[in-house]
């Protein structure tokens, strides 16, 4: 066994990705180790493909990944020459612990695109995958991955290589079954070598990465699913025209057992996703330290009883966000800490709460708060508008007017995110409505209307659809309450 084999069992140290702004539309990352036989043709085809779709707005990063025991890798020298031939091709050598995942992390840290593509150096997948993938990303998804198990996927395989293709297919099915069992994935193909993702997901996933090799994909899916990023898979056209591969089945089987076990333990301990987000939000309520004692108690209970992380998971990771009825600004401030690419505006009719929100966000340049009512909404366009526990304070006519106004303010594909009490039979819903009425009567919350106007989940769904939205809904509350979160998407 090669003395460098055990290097692949060593974990990467987690690290934060640089918070630089995207200056290009697309970055295509290609790990280029032991691929001299294919890399020149791959770059030629990829460059022609991207140039027709993103002229002057793309880059291709070639990432050599030579192992310490390799004196020379011809692919490294060839990658350097290709970067001189094409102005959009960058030579981006990976330094440090080797592996496909480690090389891609280096690529992500240097990428300038707002969308990240990657594929293998021997170009086994038809690049037309990216045409459909970019459409899905523009419609609100964050990760689009190839699915070789899809019934619509096609394999272009010479007869001589059919046994090899079949063995790989069966091995992949077994690995995926175990992964779904242990990690709760829904996708049937985590390991496809072609993917497209938002810059925000790429930074979140590779910052949290510990696996340097081929099984980094598992961590990518875990970060996506547990941090509220939207994922989907697409069928692919796969070409298998050579037996040459950097994957050695026995070696990768041993590594698979190790990394699947390690990643599973990390996942069960909360290493990925919400607990990671909670670490980011540590000390969040201390921002309101200058508020009165009763106000701090209210904010503590509000934060504990409202699943803000679930709500934030529906908010786009970049773009302009408007929070109507923002109160003390809990949602915009928490969103800005988790999604620093967002520009957030909170508006509320209570000047004292707006003053506290401004004080709590003095260091957050991407967050603004303003005093105003529904007649003073901005006329700008937004990627999302949030309305959390506000709609029932409005009369039916005001509800309708606000919903129609939100539709007009949203960009195509934008989201109107509303949390409301579900008026339905049962003690929990009844107590929820009584609580809202009592809070209003005591002046704990302020409303111009003496009466509150609730609807059932089905009634809200029909109401939002009548305004032109595509609507999905799910429970979003502490077990003491009966709130539902509606994600209303303006059709693209």
DSSP codes, 374-419? GGG---S-EEEEEEES-GGGS-HHHHHHHHHHHHHHEEEEEEEEEE
| pLDDT computed for residue 34 by the predictor | 80
Interatomic CA distance for residues 492 and 490, integer angstroms? 6
Per the CB < 8 A criterion, the answer to whether 54 and 114 are in contact is: no
| pLDDT computed for residue 168 by the predictor | 84
Burial classification of residue 262, based on how many CB atoms lie within 10 Å of its CB (0-12 exposed, 13-18 middle, 19 or more buried): middle
Q: Which two tokens stand for residue 34?
A: 């032991």
| pLDDT computed for residue 298 by the predictor | 85
Q: How far is CA 79 from the centre of its chain?
A: 31
Q: Give, for all 492 residues of the chain, the pLDDT tens digit.
A: 455 566 778 888 877 677 677 899 999 999 988 888 889 999 999 999 999 999 999 999 999 887 666 667 788 889 999 999 999 999 998 887 888 999 999 999 999 999 999 999 999 999 999 999 999 998 888 999 999 999 999 999 989 888 888 888 888 899 999 999 999 888 889 999 999 999 989 988 998 899 998 899 999 999 988 877 889 999 999 998 765 554 566 677 788 889 999 999 988 877 887 666 766 677 788 899 888 898 888 888 888 888 888 898 889 888 999 999 999 999 999 999 888 889 999 999 999 999 999 999 998 999 999 999 888 888 889 999 999 999 988 889 999 999 999 999 999 999 999 999 887 655 555 565 555 556 555 554 555 555 678 888 999 999 999 999 999 988 888 777 778 999 999 998
Q: Which two tokens stand for residue 246?
A: 């950097």
| pLDDT computed for residue 427 by the predictor | 57
Nearest to 199 by CA among 379, 74, 340, 404: 340
Alpha helices (H) in 86-161, listed in sequence order: 100-110, 129-138
SS3 content of the chain, % helix, strand, coil (to 5): 45, 20, 35
| pLDDT computed for residue 216 by the predictor | 92
- Residue showing tokens 């004196």: 71
Helix (H, G, I), strand (E, B) or coil at 472: strand
Domains of the chain, start order: 5-275 (3.90.550.10), 282-489 (3.40.50.150)
**DSSP track, 319-378:** EEEEEET-TT-HHHHHHHHH-TTEEEEEEES-HHHHHHHHHHTTT-TTEEEEE--GGG--
Distances (CA, A) of 78 to 84, 95, 100, 125, 357: 10, 17, 18, 22, 55
Interatomic CA distance for residues 129 and 343, integer angstroms? 31
- Residue showing tokens 């009548």: 466
Q: Which two tokens stand for residue 274?
A: 């919400």
Q: For residue 443, how many other CB atoms are within 10 A of its CB?
A: 8
Burial classification of residue 318, based on how many CB atoms lie within 10 Å of its CB (0-12 exposed, 13-18 middle, 19 or more buried): middle
Nearest to 225 by CA among 278, 267, 174, 280: 267
Interatomic CA distance for residues 33 and 353, integer angstroms? 57
| pLDDT computed for residue 95 by the predictor | 81
**What one-character DSSP code corresponds to residue 11?**
P
Residue 444: which region, alpha, beta or left (left: phi > 0; alpha: psi -120 to 50)? alpha
Interatomic CA distance for residues 29 and 196, integer angstroms? 10
Burial 270-301 (b: 16+ CB within 10 A, else e): ebbbeebbeeebeebbebbeebeeeeeebbee
Interatomic CA distance for residues 92 and 61, integer angstroms? 6
Burial classification of residue 387, based on how many CB atoms lie within 10 Å of its CB (0-12 exposed, 13-18 middle, 19 or more buried): buried
Q: How far is CA 25 from the centre of its chain?
A: 17
Interatomic CA distance for residues 379 and 385, integer angstroms? 13
| pLDDT computed for residue 455 by the predictor | 87
Q: Where are the beta strands (DSSP E) in 52-149?
A: 58-63, 89-91, 113-118, 143-147
Strands 231-235 and 382-388: unpaired
């Amino acid at each position: 066994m090669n003395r460098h084999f055990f290097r692949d069992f060593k974990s990467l140290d987690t690290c934060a990705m640089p918070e630089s702004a995207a200056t290009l539309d697309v970055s295509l990352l290609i790990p280029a180790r032991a691929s001299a036989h294919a890399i020149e043709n791959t770059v030629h085809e990829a460059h022609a493909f991207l140039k027709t779709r993103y002229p002057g707005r793309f880059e291709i990063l070639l990432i050599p990944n030579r192992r310490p025991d390799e004196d020379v890798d011809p692919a490294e020298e060839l990658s350097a020459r290709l970067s001189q031939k094409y102005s959009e091709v960058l030579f981006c050598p990976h330094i440090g612990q080797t592996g496909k995942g480690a090389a891609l992390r280096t690529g992500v840290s240097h990428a300038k695109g707002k969308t990240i593509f990657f594929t293998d150096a021997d170009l086994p997948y038809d690049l037309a995958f990216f045409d459909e993938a970019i459409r899905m990303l523009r419609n609100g998804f964050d990760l689009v991955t190839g699915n070789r198990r899809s019934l619509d996927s096609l394999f272009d395989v010479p007869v001589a290589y059919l046994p090899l293709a079949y063995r790989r297919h069966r091995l992949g099915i077994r690995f995926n079954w175990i992964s779904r069992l242990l990690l709760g994935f829904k996708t049937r193909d985590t390991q496809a070598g072609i993917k497209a993702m938002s810059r925000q997901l790429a930074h979140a996933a590779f910052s949290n990465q510990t696996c340097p090799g081929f099984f980094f994909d598992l961590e990518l899916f875990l970060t996506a699913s547990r941090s509220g990023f939207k994922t989907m898979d697409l069928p692919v056209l796969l070409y298998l025209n050579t037996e040459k591969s950097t994957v050695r089945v026995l070696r990768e089987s041993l590594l698979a057992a190790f990394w699947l076990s390690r990643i599973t333990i990390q996942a069960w301990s909360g290493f990925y996703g919400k607990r990671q987000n909670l670490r980011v939000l540590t000390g969040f309520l201390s921002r309101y330290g200058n508020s009165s004692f009763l106000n701090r108690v209210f904010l503590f209970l509000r934060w504990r009883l409202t699943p803000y992380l679930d709500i934030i998971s529906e908010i786009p990771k970049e773009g302009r966000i408007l929070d109507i009825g923002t109160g003390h600004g809990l949602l915009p401030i928490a969103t800005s800490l988790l999604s620093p690419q967002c520009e957030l505006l909170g508006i509320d009719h209570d000047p004292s709460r707006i003053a506290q929100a401004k004080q709590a966000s003095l260091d957050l340049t991407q967050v603004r708060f303003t005093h105003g009512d529904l007649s003073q909404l901005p006329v700008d366009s937004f990627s999302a508008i949030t309305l959390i526990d506000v709609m029932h304070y409005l009369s039916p006519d005001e509800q309708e007017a606000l919903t129609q106004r939100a539709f007009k303010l949203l960009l195509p594909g934008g989201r109107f995110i509303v949390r409301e009490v579900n008026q339905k039979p049962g003690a929990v819903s009844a107590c929820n409505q009584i609580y809202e009425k009592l809070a209003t009567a005591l002046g704990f919350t302020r409303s111009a209307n003496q009466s509150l106007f609730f609807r059932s989940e089905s009634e809200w769904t029909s109401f939002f659809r009548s305004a032109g939205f595509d609507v999905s809904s799910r429970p979003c509350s502490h077990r003491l309450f009966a709130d539902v979160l509606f994600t209303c998407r303006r059709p693209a």
